[in-house]
A and B are shown apart, each in its own frame.
Chain A
Amino acid sequence: KAGVTQTPRYLIKTRGQQVTLSCSPISGHRSVSWYQQTPGQGLQFLFEYFSETQRNKGNFPGRFSGRQFSNSRSEMNVSTLELGDSALYLCASSLGQGMGTEAFFGQGTRLTVV
């Protein structure tokens, strides 16, 4: 069974540009969550999608957006990139929501903004 696939693995962008990251969840999983990981702030929740609907949203500016497609694949977009957006972006998929539901993480996309 294939795991969670994130593409690309590495990305270098210039301030002011925009970027789109992709996540393919485990087959059958309908929930996809995105997290930003930085040395200073640790793991911070961005948003969660379930069956194409955004269920939860973290405390990030509107420059961060996402969507989920009918096949459960998800993308997140960051517009007008800032240096502080440099981070490892992790995607996690799960069967659904609820207590104790295990989340499976991808290897992440390492974004560097210069």
Chain B
Amino acid sequence: GDSVTQMEGPVTLSEEAFLTINCTYTATGYPSLFWYVQYPGEGLQLLLKATKADDKGSNKGFEATYRKETTSFHLEKGSVQVSDSAVYFCALSSGNTPLVFGKGTRLSVIA
């Protein structure tokens, strides 16, 4: 079945550092890909998405490119802030199937 693999956390960075969180997927067909973020005590919020190969999703300085050849959707941000501290989930959806999530990567940004 479909699956998502994310890099294990936690990831600890200093403010203004560059962030990469790796995400690879296995899916039949051509899924849509998502990054969700979960702040402490909250539900999940959609951060960005891409629906076809080579699409780049971007939001709030974060971006990720749908790479079909490497089945990847890595999340990047050029300069993280303390307020970016959260858990980040990579997810996919194929056709009418429910979202399949990775295990999540906890990011802590220190001032």
* A residues lining the B interface (CB < 8 Å): 4, 6, 33, 35, 42-43, 45, 48, 55-56, 58, 90, 92, 97-108
Contacts and interface: CB of A to CB of B under 8 A. Distances in A.
B96 A43 contact: no
Interface in B82-111: 89, 93-104
Given A43-B89, A90-B44, A33 B98 contact: yes
Contact of A102 (B43, B49, B98): B49
Given A42-B104, A99-B32, A56 B44 contact: no
Contacts, number: 53
Contacts of B32: 99-100
A40 to B, nearest CB: 10
Interface of B: 31-32, 36, 41-46, 49, 51, 89, 93-104
Contact of A107 (B41, B46, B94, B99): B41
Specify the main secondary structure of chain B where it touches its partner.
Answer: loop
B43 A105 contact: yes
A102 B41 CA distance: 21
B44 A33 contact: no
A99 B96 CA distance: 7
B95 A99 contact: yes
B85 to A, nearest CB: 18
A59 to B, nearest CB: 10
B93 A99 contact: yes
Contacts of A33: 98-99
Contacts of B102: 42
Nearest to B1: A59
A108 B62 CA distance: 25
A33 B60 CA distance: 26
